């Protein structure tokens, strides 16, 4: 519990840094642009990229900044392109996802297994259970009717989203993009010769 409390305290202190607001603003703009981009795999499953900036914020700034960024972006995306009626529950679920990602990624080495576990946790709790529940209220449809296609979509997208985020994060760090903003997230460093990974 002390480690978790320290994690949240450190993340809260990120608000004191000017770079936090600057990077969040830039990633927010990127998220709005990426919201219009997607790749269709099958008719009911698309690869979307607008969630990647949310995960980057949670990775860089932790489980306090992440949820606030996610909630703000959820509202802005809705205002930019409203589809159904606004439902606060969906925003809360998005914020919970940011908190989960922050707890998994913030100040920790970026390893593929960690990304897979974090993505699975968010997919199960937020996407499959809570989002389906919110959609059943919003759309007036039965929870169990909406559940099977949402499970299928998340099972397909789980490894794809995990690999995209993991390799993009490693590329951004090794290319020195993050260092331009004074950011030094902990990433896994592969051994030069032999040794364990």
Across residues 144-158, what is the average pLDDT? 92
Cα separations (Å) of 169 from 87, 125, 165, 172? 31, 24, 6, 5
> Cα torsion at 90, 50, 71, 123 (round to 10°)?
50
For CA atoms 17, 8, 5, 177, the dihedral sign is: negative
Above 50 in pLDDT, residue 197? no
> Residue ranges per domain, the chain?
9-37+45-178
Q: For the packed helices 88-105 and 112-122, what is the interaxial angle rounded to 10 degrees?
A: 160
Name the pLDDT band for 35 (thresholds 50, 70, 90).
Answer: confident
Give the CA distances from residue 136 to residues 29, 74, 128, in Å, rounded to whole numbers and listed in that order: 30, 19, 12
Helix (H, G, I), strand (E, B) or coil at 42: strand
Mean pLDDT of the chain: 85
pLDDT tens, position by position, 3-15 = 888 889 998 999 8
What would the pLDDT profile of 99-142 be if each residue is shown by its tens digit?
999 999 998 888 999 999 999 999 999 999 999 999 999 888 99
Length of the chain: 197
* pTM of the predicted model as reported, rounded to 2 decimal places: 0.85
| CATH class of the domain defined by 9-37+45-178 | mainly alpha
45-101 pLDDT, tens digit per residue, is 567 777 899 999 999 999 999 999 999 999 988 888 787 788 899 999 999 999 999
d(CA 182, CA 17): 11
Q: How confident is the model at residue 192 (pLDDT cuts 50, 70, 90)?
A: very low
- Tell me the chain's radius of gyration from C-alpha atoms: 17
Residue 123's pLDDT is what?
96
Contact 110, 166 (CB under 8 A): yes
Backbone phi and psi for residue 72, each to the nearest 5 degrees, phi listed first: -60, -45
Residue 129 and residue 123 in contact, taking contact as beta carbons nearer than 8 Å:
no
């Amino acid at each position: 519990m002390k480690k978790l409390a320290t994690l949240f305290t450190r993340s809260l202190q990120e608000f004191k840094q000017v770079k936090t607001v600057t990077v969040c603003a830039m990633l927010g703009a990127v998220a709005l642009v990426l919201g219009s981009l997607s790749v269709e795999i099958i008719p009911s499953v698309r690869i979307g990229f607008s969630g990647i900036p949310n995960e980057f914020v949670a990775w860089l700034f932790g489980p306090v900044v992440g949820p606030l960024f996610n909630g703000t972006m959820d509202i802005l995306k809705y205002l930019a392109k409203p589809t159904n009626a606004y439902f606060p529950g969906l925003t809360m679920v998005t914020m919970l996802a940011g908190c989960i990602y922050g707890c998994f990624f913030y100040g920790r080495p970026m390893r593929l297994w960690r990304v897979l576990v974090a993505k699975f946790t968010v997919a199960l709790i937020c996407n499959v259970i809570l989002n389906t529940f919110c959609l059943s209220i919003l759309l007036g449809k039965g929870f169990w009717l909406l559940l099977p296609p949402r499970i299928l979509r998340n099972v397909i997208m789980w490894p794809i989203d995990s690999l995209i985020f993991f390799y993009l994060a490693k590329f951004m760090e090794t290319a020195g993009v993050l260092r331009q903003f004074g950011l030094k997230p902990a990433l896994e460093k592969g051994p030069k010769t032999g040794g364990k990974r």
